[in-house]
C-alpha cells in the first residue's frame, strides 16, 4: 500500500498572501524523503491552489508516483499530455465547491469518456484512475471503459457523524473494494482521511493500492513538521500491510 501526499494546500497557503512561499515542490521533496511513495496535485480550472508553473516543477522534482488529478476538460487533457505524469485521476469539478464533493456520475460522463477522454489519454502510457463513490454501477462502467484504477471517495465515511452511518459507509467501501479488485482494477482511496479515521478505514477495506491524503496531513504538519507527520501516516499503514 502506498501513501501519496496531496500538496494542494501548500499552494493554498502560498496563494493566501500572493507570496512565493511555501513552495509546493519543496513540500513534495520533503514528503518523498520522509517515505511517501508519491505526490498528488489537482490543477483546477480556476487555478485556486496549484498553478501551471507548479505542475512543471513537480514533474521535474517528484521521483515516485506523480498523480495529476483533474477534470476531463480539453484544456487539462492538453496539459496532462505535456506533463506526462504516472497517473491521471479524473474527478468532477464544480466552480462553487470548496473541495471535490463526490465521485464522478458515470452514467452522465460515460459516453464522453468513451469517445473523447479515454482515447485521448490512451495515446500516452499514463494510467487512468476514476474517482467514484462506492457504487456498483459506477464501478462496472469504469471497468467497461478499461480504467486501470478506481479511487474510492472516502469523504462520506470521513464526515459521518454517527457510528451507524460510519459503519454503513465502511460496508459499502469494503464491498466496492472487493468488486474493483475482482474486476482486475487497482483500488485507490482518498478524501478526508486523517490520523484518527485512517486506522478504522484500513481495518475494514481490503486490496488497497494507494491512499491519497492532503488536507489533514498538511494541516498537522504545521505543528509537527512534514517529515514527522508523513512518518506517522506510514506507521499506521505499516500496521495493516507492508508499505510498498
Ligand atoms: N483524492 C481526491 C480525488 C481528491 O479530490 C482529494 C481532495 O483534493 C483527495 C484525494 C485528498 O483529500 P483530502 O485533502 O481531504 O485528504
Active site residue 191: yes
Integer CA distances (angstroms), 136 to 92, 104, 120, 172, 178, in order: 18, 13, 26, 9, 11
Q: What angle do CA 103, 108, 110 make, to 5 degrees?
A: 90
Measured from CB, residues less than 6 Å from any atom of ligand 1 are 6, 8, 42, 69, 89, 91, 99-100, 131, 151, 190-193, 212-216
Using one digit for the tens of pLDDT, what is the confidence trace for 115-170?
A: 999 999 999 999 999 999 999 999 999 999 999 999 999 999 999 999 999 999 99
DSSP H or E stretch at residue 1? none
- Atom 1 of ligand 1, residue of closest alpha carbon: 190
* 111 CA distance to ligand 1 middle (Å): 25
* Residue-level pLDDT at 101: 74
* 131 CA distance to ligand 1 middle (Å): 10
pTM: 0.96
List the chain residues with pLDDT less than 50.
244
Helix axes 24-33, 226-240, angle to 10 degrees: 50
Other CB atoms within 10 Å distance of the CB of residue 168:
14
* 41 CA distance to ligand 1 middle (Å): 9
Looking at the CA of residue 100, tell me the nearest atom of ligand 1.
Answer: 5
* 213 CA distance to ligand 1 middle (Å): 6
Active site residue 153: no
Q: Give CA–CA dist 131/102, Å, rounded.
A: 8
Grid coordinates of 30: 520533503
Among candidate residues 69, 151, 169, 210, the one labeled active-site is 69
> How do strand 65-70 and strand 38-42 relate by DSSP bridges?
parallel
Mutate to test the pocket of ligand 1, among 215, 218, 220, 233 (most ligand atoms within 8 A of CB): 215
**CB-count burial class (<10 Å; 0-12, 13-18, 19+) for 29:** middle
Active site residue 69: yes
Are 20 and 14 in contact by the 8 Å Cβ rule? The answer is yes
Q: Give CA–CA dist 62/6, Å, rounded.
A: 12
* Residue-level pLDDT at 242: 57
User: Which residues, other chains included, contact 122 with Cβ-Cβ below 8 Å and sequence gap of 6+?
Assistant: none
* 229 CA distance to ligand 1 middle (Å): 17
Burial annotation 114-150 (CB, 10 A radius, 16+ → b, else e):
eeebbebbeeeebbbbbbbbbbeebbebbbebebbbb
Looking at the CA of residue 69, tell me the nearest atom of ligand 1.
Answer: 3
Length of the chain: 244
- Atom 7 of ligand 1, residue of closest alpha carbon: 191
* Residue-level pLDDT at 94: 78
Among 166, 155, 161, CA closest to 204: 166
Q: Give CA–CA dist 192/109, Å, rounded.
A: 24
Among candidate residues 9, 42, 49, 153, the one labeled active-site is 42
* Residue-level pLDDT at 243: 55
Among candidate residues 9, 49, 153, 191, the one labeled active-site is 191
Q: Give CA–CA dist 10/7, Å, rounded.
A: 6
Q: Give CA–CA dist 191/193, Å, rounded.
A: 6
* Residue-level pLDDT at 108: 95
Domains of the chain as residue ranges with CATH? 2-243 (3.20.20.70)
Amino acid at each position: 500500500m502506498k501513501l501519496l501526499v496531496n500538496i494542494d494546500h501548500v499552494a493554498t497557503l502560498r496563494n493566501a498572501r500572493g507570496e512565493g512561499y511555501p513552495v509546493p515542490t519543496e513540500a513534495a521533496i520533503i514528503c518523498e524523503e520522509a517515505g511517501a511513495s508519491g505526490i498528488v496535485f489537482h490543477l483546477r480550472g480556476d487555478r485556486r491552489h496549484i498553478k501551471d508553473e507548479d505542475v512543471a516543477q513537480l514533474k521535474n522534482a517528484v521521483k515516485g508516483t506523480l498523480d495529476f488529478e483533474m477534470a476531463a476538460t480539453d484544456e487539462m487533457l492538453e496539459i496532462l499530455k505535456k506533463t506526462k505524469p504516472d497517473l491521471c485521476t479524473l474527478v468532477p469539478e464544480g466552480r462553487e465547491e470548496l473541495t471535490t464533493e463526490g465521485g464522478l456520475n458515470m452514467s452522465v460522463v460515460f459516453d464522453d469518456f468513451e469517445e473523447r477522454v479515454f482515447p485521448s489519454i490512451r495515446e500516452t502510457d499514463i494510467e487512468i484512475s476514476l474517482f467514484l463513490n462506492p457504487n456498483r454501477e459506477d464501478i462496472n462502467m469504469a471497468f467497461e471503459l478499461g480504467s486501470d484504477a478506481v479511487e474510492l471517495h472516502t469523504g462520506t465515511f470521513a464526515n459521518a457523524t454517527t457510528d451507524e452511518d460510519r459503519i454503513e459507509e465502511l460496508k459499502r467501501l469494503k464491498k466496492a473494494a472487493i468488486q474493483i479488485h475482482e474486476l482486475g482494477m487497482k483500488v485507490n482511496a482518498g478524501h478526508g482521511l486523517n490520523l484518527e479515521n485512517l486506522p478504522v478505514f484500513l481495518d475494514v477495506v481490503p486490496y488497497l493500492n494507494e491512499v491519497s491524503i492532503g488536507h489533514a496531513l498538511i494541516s498537522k504538519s504545521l505543528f509537527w513538521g512534514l517529515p514527522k507527520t508523513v512518518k506517522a501516516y506510514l506507521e499506521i499503514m505499516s500496521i495493516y500491510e507492508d508499505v510498498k
